Structure 1
Amino acid sequence: MFDLHSYSDTYLSGMHDWMSHNGEWPWLQTIIVTPASGNRAAMLSDITGKTTPLLDFFDKQLIPTIDQKYRTNGFKIMSGFRMNGSIVLSALINKPDMFNAYIAISPELKDDYAGILSTASSKLAKLDKKSRFLLFSHGTNVKEAHQMKAYDQLHSIFKKHSTKKLDWHYKHFENNYFMSLPLLSVITGIEKLFNDIHNGLAPDSKVSQKGIDAIIKHYKYLSDHKYGFAVSPKNSINALGFHLLSSSTQAGMKVFKDMIKMFPKDAYSHHNLASAYEKQGDFENAVKHQRDAVKLADNMLGWHKKRHYKFLEDYLSKSGGSSSE
């Protein structure tokens, strides 16, 4: 994740640490890149927008160097506040292949700063079919009063000229303080950006209603085209299983049994089958499969270990058995 403000590391690193320490939920493990205090790279920015020397430096020197030094996976996020937010927008419309996700917070737009308002319409319409994410946010305060009309203009441009592959979002933080906006915006952006990973598909969605194969195909698309790294379909398949269980025991149970075939070493796949048996009143099989889940959870975080063991105790109490059997 790139941010041009040297002080942004203080809140980005802290928020990332907090939001990722509990199993990377909701923020996946991320390398935070900010300039050192006093670094003059930002002076490369052309406020007319006619050239992009700063973005060229990112593209040709900075990003390749980072990729060589760190174990990156190719997915890149850029965030920026005020003038740095304008650079984020400039990256989207002028160098759209450089980043995958953009968080532009209170970008400077007045007097066509960086040529954003004068060129965004035509450049957005020309974006290719690559999946991209954008959060454009701002507040209502004395620091932004000079460009509220410009914000409305940019919002209108996104509504009229964005392609379907640009997953863009707009957020007006009208009741928050100006200096709170970067933190609120990054949290909002990260939650929306990785929502497909954490929440999954609703069981009554068009994709899920087509079955397991369609769900797997959907997540292959997310893995190959949106994120560039593997995204698991497990949550969505499990949701479909429980949804089907309410109307067809056979169809629901088949989903959970198929899950174990696909993910034999996944504790939650075994737990979900156990839970399905428990819902049918088959406590013997519920205990059997939850024991498997407990064994597989041995390599998971303590919270998950305790959770699976509590499930086992619950099923045992209903079956009349004991955890030592």
Structure 2
Amino acid sequence: MMKKLLMLVVLICPMISSAQIIYETVSSAKLKETREIKIQLPRNYEENKEKYYPVVMVLDGDYLFEPVAGIVDYYSYWEDIPEMIVVGINQFESRNKDVNYDNQRFLPSEKGAEFFEFLGMELLKSVDQKYRTAPFQIIVGHDLTANFLNYYLLKPEQIFEGYVNLSPDLAPEMAKRITNALSRSENKKWYYLATGSDDISQLKENILALDNQLIGLDNDLVSYTFNNFDNASHYSLVGRAIPVAIESMFEVYSPISQKEYNEVLLQTSVSPTEYLIEKYESIYNLYGIEKRIRLNDFLAIHQAIEKTRRWDEYEELSKLANDHFPKTMLSTYFEARYHEETGNPKKAMKAYQNSYGQEKIAFLDVDFMLEKANAIKRDFGY
């Protein structure tokens, strides 16, 4: 386990150094004091003036910020998740007061109530005003702070879409409140819960009981993921849970997987091109992110069409490729394949020839396209 964690650190540290880390002192009217926060901005944030980013709010920022920020930067580099703004709140000296709840209603009280309002009403608002944020927010916490983040789930108005609970130290009534809130939710939510085989016994018992309730959750708007990691302690489970939690919230965003390709795109009842369009519409609707269709996703659709021989799909795919990769050979190639397989070899030959002067992309270059044109010319004697 230690070797795996060290390898993860080796992989992540260079990624963190490439992202922009800002350290700030924030004055709070609610807390009547200042708080230290850390902010990781995405790579090339300043250059991408038109781009907006989801926000990850990390409680226990003094030790959770770096692993979360590293995972976000690493996974977004490979486009498995979107680039995000990560905000960490240091709580080393104030943690117990920040998460305080009363012993009658088991709701935030005294400093806990002030901290609750500081996060929801001051800090998030400040981040939204200062940075280009998309309307998708995740909150992360560990044991006491993991319990605390669930109080936002109980509010009528939605503040966070994603909740990452790392071995939460659940308050009395909290499991029932979480289950009721998720079952009644009228907005899309992602809920992640984790424990480990060597977790603190009392915490683990309550977490497993909560999982038992959430397994039967009947609400299509809630995506629930649970992990009980083998050979993981209360602290080591954090390193294993963070990437799983973040990935689980961006399953739709990630590139077309081998599973999607085999189980969806190769089914003749599914239009591969429509599936691609709907995937990127879902990315916008769920995460508020306008994203250009990935080249690899175009190529996955291309391969699916070749396998299923649904040649008519190429006509719409060519138009889509022209929108997302203009001036390249991608749209021209799809157009040529459409004509080639639907009985118009002369139009296919001309389309291949028209690629001359366009930018090469993926496996498509001038030699490849002209050879395709010459092959049709030889076969049909044009």
TM-score range, shorter chain: 0.7 to 0.9
Distance 2:351 2:230 in 1: 54
Shift in Å at residue 223 of structure 1? 1.3
What are the residue-to-residue correspondences of 1:143-222 with 2, within 5 Å?
A: 143-200=199-256, 202=261, 203-204=264-265, 209-210=270-271, 212-213=273-274, 216-217=277-278, 219-222=280-283
Asked if 1:4 corresponds to 2:59, the answer is yes
> Could you tell me which residue of structure 2 aligns to residue 254 of structure 1?
315
Shift in Å at residue 79 of structure 1? 1.1
Aligned amino acid, residue 245 of structure 2: G
Taking only aligned residues, the RMSD between alpha carbons, in angstroms, comes to 3.8
Name the SS for the 2:135 alignment partner: coil
**Preserved CA contact (<8 Å) 1:132 1:167:** yes
Shift in Å at residue 95 of structure 1? 6.2
Aligned amino acid, residue 289 of structure 2: F
> Could you tell me which residue of structure 1 aligns to residue 365 of structure 2?
312
Name the SS for the 1:246 alignment partner: helix
**Preserved CA contact (<8 Å) 1:79 1:85:** yes
Q: 2:86 aligns with which of 32, 40, 48?
A: 32
Asked if 1:140 corresponds to 2:197, the answer is yes
> Could you tell me which residue of structure 2 aligns to residue 127 of structure 1?
185
Aligned amino acid, residue 20 of structure 1: S
Shift in Å at residue 293 of structure 1? 4.2
Asked if 1:92 corresponds to 2:153, the answer is yes
Shift in Å at residue 312 of structure 1? 3.0
Shift in Å at residue 140 of structure 1? 1.0
Name the SS for the 1:230 alignment partner: coil
Asked if 1:80 corresponds to 2:141, the answer is yes
1:253/1:118 CA distance change after superposition, 3 Å: closer
1:260/1:27 CA distance change after superposition, 3 Å: closer
Distance 1:162 1:83 in 2: 28
Name the SS for the 1:59 alignment partner: helix
- Matched pairs, number: 299
Question: TM-score, with normalisation over the residues of structure 1?
Answer: 0.74
> Could you tell me which residue of structure 2 aligns to residue 115 of structure 1?
173
Shift in Å at residue 197 of structure 1? 1.6
**Preserved CA contact (<8 Å) 2:59 2:91:** no
Q: Which has the higher strand share?
A: 2
1:267/1:21 CA distance change after superposition, 3 Å: farther
Segment of structure 1 superposing worse, 26-35 or 52-61: 52-61
- Greater C-alpha radius of gyration: 2
Distance 2:354 2:248 in 1: 38
Distance 1:207 1:86 in 2: 46
Shift in Å at residue 4 of structure 1? 1.2
Identity within the alignment, %: 14
What are the residue-to-residue correspondences of 1:205-244 with 2, within 5 Å?
A: 209-210=270-271, 212-213=273-274, 216-217=277-278, 219-224=280-285, 226-232=286-292, 239-244=300-305
Q: Which has the higher helix share?
A: 1
1:15/1:268 CA distance change after superposition, 3 Å: farther
> Could you tell me which residue of structure 2 aligns to residue 245 of structure 1?
306
Residue segments in structure 1 that go unaligned for 5+ positions in a row: 298-307
